[in-house]
């Protein structure tokens, strides 16, 4: 937890003892009264917190001083076939840390329909993983997230003038690392199939929406690994680091 993220309404009250952020300040960072720590407002400025009291009940009182707003997220949207909840958790956290602008978990031909009913989505747990990823990356910005929409509906909503790429192990003719890319696209969409891959209907929809199929080489990667690798390569090639 490199940066403690808070909502604006949490800035003027102590963190309760049961709050993981309070435990982190006390037991991991071992902050004493008068010590500073890094904090930020979700989707707002970063700044410094100063511990003002450490009550015996385990809570942490602090004063916050906010400064600069962080830069915006990269105009990169991921379109991901709904994976198992445990895989989605990893993608939410790691791709937030990498600074993507949006993650759309979509229904596809080979995605398991039951995954859309997971408590990860229905309980709002997914947002906790965004916060963890942002705290790790020392950033306050959280990506937009949708889940359960059809692939075609999400493709229709992507930036009209953006670069469009889809990972595919079977029909891609070029690798992401060597594909010729535009110098400065206004936005980019990167699609990754579910753990069972794209079916023929998915590929047809992607091609009809202007997507180019690309690969990451001969190795077959886990979806969460492919997402991290592809985002890192694409952001580096586009200068969006």
Q: What is the CATH classification number for the domain harbouring 83?
A: 3.40.1280.10
Give the 3-state secondary structure of residue 61.
strand
Tokens of 23: 């435990």
* Statement to judge: residues 47 and 80 lie in one domain: no
Q: What is the pLDDT of residue 66?
A: 96
In the sheet that 163-167 helps form, which strands lie side by side, from edge to edge?
144-150, 102-107, 76-81, 188-192, 163-167, 212-215, 174-175
Look at residue 235 in the predicted model and tell me its pLDDT.
96
Residues 33 and 136 in one domain: no
Which residue shows structure tokens 């759309």? 104
Residues 174 and 96 in one domain: yes
| pLDDT tens, per residue, the chain with 241 residues | 899 999 999 999 999 999 999 999 999 999 999 999 999 999 999 999 999 999 999 999 999 999 988 889 999 999 999 999 999 999 999 999 999 999 999 999 999 989 999 999 999 999 999 999 999 999 999 999 999 999 999 999 998 889 999 999 999 989 999 999 988 899 999 999 999 999 999 999 999 999 999 999 999 999 999 999 999 999 999 999 8
| DSSP reduced 3-state for 25 | helix
The H or E element containing residue 148 is strand 144-150
Looking up residue 38, the CATH number of its domain turns out to be 2.40.240.20
Last residue of a domain, one of 14, 45, 66: 66
Residues 172, 86 within the same domain: yes
User: What's the confidence (pLDDT) of residue 184?
Assistant: 82
Number of domains in the chain: 2
Percentages helix, strand, coil for the chain (3-state, rounded to 5) are: 35, 25, 40
Same domain, 124 and 187: yes
Q: What is the pLDDT of residue 183?
A: 82
Q: Give residue 70's pLDDT.
A: 87
Residue 184: domain span: 76-238
Task: Indicate whether 40 and 82 sit together in one domain.
Answer: no
Domain membership flag for residue 152: yes
């Amino acid at each position: 937890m490199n940066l403690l993220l808070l909502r604006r309404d949490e800035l003027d009250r102590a963190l309760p003892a049961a709050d993981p952020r309070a435990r982190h300040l006390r037991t991991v960072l071992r902050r004493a009264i008068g010590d500073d720590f890094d904090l930020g407002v979700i989707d707002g400025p970063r700044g410094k917190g100063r511990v003002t009291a450490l009550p015996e009940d385990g809570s942490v009182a602090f004063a916050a001083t906010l400064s600069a707003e962080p830069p915006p997220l990269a105009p990169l949207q991921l379109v991901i076939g709904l994976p198992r909840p445990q895989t989605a958790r990893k993608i939410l956290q790691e791709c937030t840390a990498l600074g993507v602008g949006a993650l759309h978990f979509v229904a596809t031909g080979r995605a398991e329909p039951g995954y859309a009913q997971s408590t990860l989505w229905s309980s709002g747990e997914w947002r906790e993983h965004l916060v963890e990823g942002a705290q790790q990356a020392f950033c306050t910005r959280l990506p937009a997230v949708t889940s359960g929409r059809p692939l075609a509906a999400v493709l229709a909503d992507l930036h009209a003038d953006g670069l469009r790429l889809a990972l595919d192990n079977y029909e891609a003719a070029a690798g992401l690392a060597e594909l010729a890319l535009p110098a400065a696209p206004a936005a980019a969409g990167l699609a990754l199939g579910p753990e069972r891959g794209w079916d023929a209907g998915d590929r047809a929809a992607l091609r009809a929406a202007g997507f180019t199929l690309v690969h990451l080489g001969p190795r077959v990667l886990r979806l969460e690994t492919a997402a991290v690798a592809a985002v890192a390569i694409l952001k580096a090639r586009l200068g969006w680091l």
